[in-house]
């Protein structure tokens, strides 16, 4: 019953990106924007990036960082076949390939895709360009529960059923890696996060199924339901109990009415055989993880395209929502946060951001951790 209440809150508190007067599927991320605008061109280039300053309350020094700088290239072979790749630099010194896939347009309502792609789960994992969300950092529900940025190698289909106002996606991906080099990979503090293989010499024992449906038939509203099902992967299938079953469900809602924006998301994950996995590896992986957030924002129009937007977001996430066997849930993994701040959009695709975070867990009680954040975000 408690989870149903949280879900109800998440759906009520919902957001962003739709223009009044258009109920079509016009909400785009970098990949979809490039592939839809490079028709008639051989190569299209885009990108996004963010620079962050984080200052914890107390004696700790602040940290300033070129958090990420991303360049995207789209190539159009013909009117049906295109290719997109996304190269990401993190913290100046780390380089990743975040996306690299071929898209074949079979007809107006069916695309076939293959390569390194984003797993469609929740909002941020697909739509994480810095100017598309409020706050300097991405929501921690998406960091610890989803976990973003989550991309894997796979093949699948996508498209729209316009007469039903639905966008659909369905893929087979390689799964999270849970065991490598004789050691367990997954743990209680951040759940599945360390198991992302990111297309780098990925281990595959069995494919995992991922799907999402988005409904956009009501003016200003978008509703999404996501699912991910399968098993984790191991580099030694002869070792019993080195994998766990994964079942993840996500619900998200976004709404815009005039200058008011609402956004909400709920993610729940069930993991099977974690008691055997923990006994083998000595890890403390929970058997259930969940999280939700709700956000409200209001845009004040200034001169031209400039907008000043105060926002407020509440998050709650727990990577030890349940445990199996003799493992006792670590209450420090039951966390909640309140974030409030300002977003100053100075141009289409450029914004200055400031916010303040209040962070607690079930152990800290009234001992709240605080952090000031400031940054810039761009998307072109």
**Spatial separation of the C-alpha atoms in residues 153 and 199, rounded to whole Å:** 6
Query: Does residue 287 belong to any structural domain of this protein?
Result: yes
Task: Using alpha carbons, select from 264, 241, 246 the residue that is nearest to residue 207.
Answer: 246
**Spatial separation of the C-alpha atoms in residues 232 and 323, rounded to whole Å:** 18
The pLDDT score that the predictor gives to residue 41 is 66
Which tokens in the block code for residue 351?
């914004």
Q: ω into residue 377 within 30 of 0, thus cis?
A: no
**Spatial separation of the C-alpha atoms in residues 120 and 201, rounded to whole Å:** 22
Strand order in the sheet with 183-184: 183-184, 177-180, 233-234
Beta pairing partners, 260: 257, 298
Per-position pLDDT tens, the chain of length 380: 444 444 444 443 333 333 333 345 657 888 888 877 655 667 899 999 999 999 999 778 999 999 999 999 999 999 999 999 999 999 999 999 999 999 999 999 999 999 999 999 999 999 999 999 999 999 999 999 999 999 999 999 999 999 999 999 999 999 999 999 999 999 999 999 999 999 999 999 999 999 999 999 999 999 999 999 999 999 999 999 999 999 999 999 999 999 999 999 999 999 999 999 999 999 999 999 999 999 999 999 999 999 999 999 999 999 999 999 999 999 999 999 999 999 999 999 999 999 999 999 999 887 899 999 999 999 99
Task: CATH number of the domain at 318, please.
Answer: 2.40.160.10
Query: Does residue 24 belong to any structural domain of this protein?
Result: no
Q: Could you tell me which residues come within 8 angstroms of residue 136 by beta carbon, excluding any fewer than 6 positions away?
A: 50, 52, 53, 54, 341, 353, 354, 355, 373, 374, 375
Q: Exposed, middle or buried: residue 264 (CB in 10 Å: 0-12, 13-18, 19+)?
A: buried
Q: Which helix (H) or strand (E) holds 211?
A: strand 208-215
Query: Does residue 23 belong to any structural domain of this protein?
Result: no
The pLDDT score that the predictor gives to residue 25 is 64
Taking the CA of residue 122 as centre, how many other CA atoms within 13 Å lie in the half-sphere pointing to its CB? Answer: 30
Q: Which domain holds residue 192?
A: 43-379
Query: Does residue 10 belong to any structural domain of this protein?
Result: no
Query: Does residue 221 belong to any structural domain of this protein?
Result: yes
Query: Does residue 294 belong to any structural domain of this protein?
Result: yes
**Which spans in 117-247 are helix H?**
140-144
Whether 37 and 44 have beta carbons less than 8 Å apart is answered as yes
Query: Does residue 36 belong to any structural domain of this protein?
Result: no
Which tokens in the block code for residue 366?
């009234």
Query: Does residue 3 belong to any structural domain of this protein?
Result: no
Task: Using alpha carbons, select from 183, 187, 181, 114 the residue that is nearest to residue 147.
Answer: 187
Angle (CA) 250-17-158 rounded to 5° is 55
Count up the domains in the chain and report the number. 1
Whether 130 and 379 have beta carbons less than 8 Å apart is answered as yes
């Amino acid at each position: 019953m408690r989870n149903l209440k949280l879900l109800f809150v998440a759906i009520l508190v919902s957001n962003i990106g739709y223009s009044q007067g258009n109920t079509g599927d016009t909400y785009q991320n970098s990949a979809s924007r490039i592939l839809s605008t490079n028709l008639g061109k051989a190569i299209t280039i885009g990108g996004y990036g963010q620079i962050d300053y984080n200052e914890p309350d107390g004696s700790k020094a602040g940290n300033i960082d070129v958090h990420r700088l991303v360049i995207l290239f789209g190539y159009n072979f013909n009117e049906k076949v295109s290719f997109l790749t996304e190269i990401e630099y993190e913290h100046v010194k780390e380089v990743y390939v975040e996306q690299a896939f071929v898209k074949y347009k079979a007809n107006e309502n069916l695309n076939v895709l293959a390569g390194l792609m984003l797993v469609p789960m929740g909002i941020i994992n697909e739509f994480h360009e810095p100017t598309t969300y409020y706050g300097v950092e991405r929501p921690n529900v998406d960091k610890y529960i989803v976990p973003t940025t989550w991309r894997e190698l796979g093949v699948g289909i996508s498209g729209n059923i316009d007469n039903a106002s639905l966008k659909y996606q369905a893929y087979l991906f390689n799964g999270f890696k849970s065991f490598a080099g004789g050691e367990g990979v997954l743990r209680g503090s951040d759940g599945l996060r360390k198991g992302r293989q990111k297309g780098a010499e990925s281990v595959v024992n069995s494919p995992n199924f991922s799907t999402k449906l988005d409904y956009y038939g009501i003016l200003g509203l978008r509703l999404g339901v996501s699912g991910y099902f399968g098993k984790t992967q191991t580099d030694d299938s002869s070792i019993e109990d080195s994998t766990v079953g994964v079942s993840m469900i996500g619900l998200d809602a976004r709404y815009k009415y005039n200058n008011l924006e609402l956004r909400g998301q709920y993610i729940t994950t069930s993991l099977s055989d974690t008691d055997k996995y923990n006994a083998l590896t000595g890890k403390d992986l929970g058997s259930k993880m969940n999280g939700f957030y709700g956000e409200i924002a209001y845009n004040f129009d200034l001169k031209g395209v400039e907008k000043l937007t105060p926002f407020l977001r509440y998050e709650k996430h727990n990577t030890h929502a349940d445990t199996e066997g003799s493992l006792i849930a670590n209450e420090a993994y039951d966390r909640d946060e309140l974030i409030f701040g300002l977003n100053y959009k100075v141009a289409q695709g450029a914004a200055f951001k400031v916010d303040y975070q209040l962070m607690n867990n079930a152990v800290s009680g009234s001992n709240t951790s605080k952090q000031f954040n400031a940054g810039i975000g761009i998307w072109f």
